[in-house]
Amino acid sequence: MPAMNKTSSCTVGFCDQFVHIQSYGVEAEKIVNFLCCDLQQDSKAPSIAKYDVMSVGSKPIFSLWYEGNKIYDGESKYDLAYALINEIIHHCIVNNNKGHVIHAAAITSGKGGILLPGESGSGKSTFTTWLVSKGYGYLTDELVVITEKTHRIVPFTRPLSIKKGSVSVVSSFVNPDPQHMITGRNGSMLAHRCVNSNFEVDTPPLTLILFPKYQPNSPLELKRISPAIACAKLMECYVNARNIPGHGIGTLADLIRNTQVYQLTYGTFDGIQKLLGDTFEEFSCLP
């Protein structure tokens, strides 16, 4: 790793699992702050991994180093940011056994927490951005921990990550300041406060699970899912099952028995807010 003067450092994490990040250069520091401003921060916490983020030159060349080994080198802020946030996620969940880690977005309405599970490409980040733009509280577009006994949502709160194919869709209802975005060939990251400035840190109780499914030209459809199918679908998004006794199947089944589970299929956003507001208390409290 090249010798440079350190600009700043921070120890950030999720569910008490922490990584230490050292920034070298103002642009590197800005990226780290953009990504990590809503994560746990504890300068005295022991870290399970150490990263160095560097920016060099007036037209910066960025690099990302893990324990002295280079894992990214190039001109793209987006590619660097994407690599770093996924490294943080990996180290914070790989050995996590404090709850059930689910690949899902999540929002809150003041009536409880709404889980939006889905694999990459399901449209959950775009759908979450649209909901947040309507006034619902942002929690995450990527990852949650569901606590074991209280079934509360603990979110991994990061910038909204919009894939390339959805950027134009998001631009139709959000017009953010470019200073609060990181954009690359493969997509954009957007500061969630640009979509809804009323953000509060929250770990709400889980009250509704809604599987969003975007299908072009599809009619709007909302249907309840049986507990057996819901459990199978949620297992597909279950990240740390190997760390949980019995792979967490019994706990997930119990969770689903006590929670409404639906699938929403849509081709446009037209009519979604009324449908959800007419069906669920969680969506009825906002216009």
Residue limits of CATH 3.40.50.300 in the chain: 99-283
Are β-strands 99-108 and 137-140 bridged in parallel, bridged antiparallel, or unpaired? antiparallel
CA distance 41 to 29: 15
CB-based contacts of 15: which residues, under 8 Å, 6+ apart?
Answer: 40, 92, 93, 96, 98, 99, 145, 154
Q: Note down pLDDT in tens along the chain; length 287 residues.
A: 665 677 899 999 999 999 999 999 999 999 999 999 999 999 999 999 999 999 999 899 999 999 989 999 999 999 999 999 999 999 999 988 888 999 999 999 888 999 999 877 678 999 999 999 999 999 999 999 999 888 999 999 999 999 998 999 999 999 988 899 999 999 999 999 999 999 999 999 999 999 999 988 899 999 999 999 999 999 999 998 888 888 888 888 888 998 999 999 999 999 999 999 999 988 876 65
Closest by CA to 103, choosing from 87, 90, 91, 120, is 120
| Structural element, H or E, at residue 222 | strand 221-224
Token output for 200: 């509060």
Over the Cα atoms of the chain, what is R_g?
A: 19
Looking at 3.30.70.580, 3.40.50.300, 3.40.309.10, 3.50.50.60, the CATH number of the domain 99-283 comes to 3.40.50.300
pLDDT score at 3 = 59
Closest by CA to 202, choosing from 150, 133, 140, 283, is 140
Q: What angle do CA 97, 22, 36 make, to 5 degrees?
A: 55
Closest by CA to 103, choosing from 113, 121, 112, 116, is 116
Closest by CA to 132, choosing from 78, 198, 72, is 198
SS3 54: strand
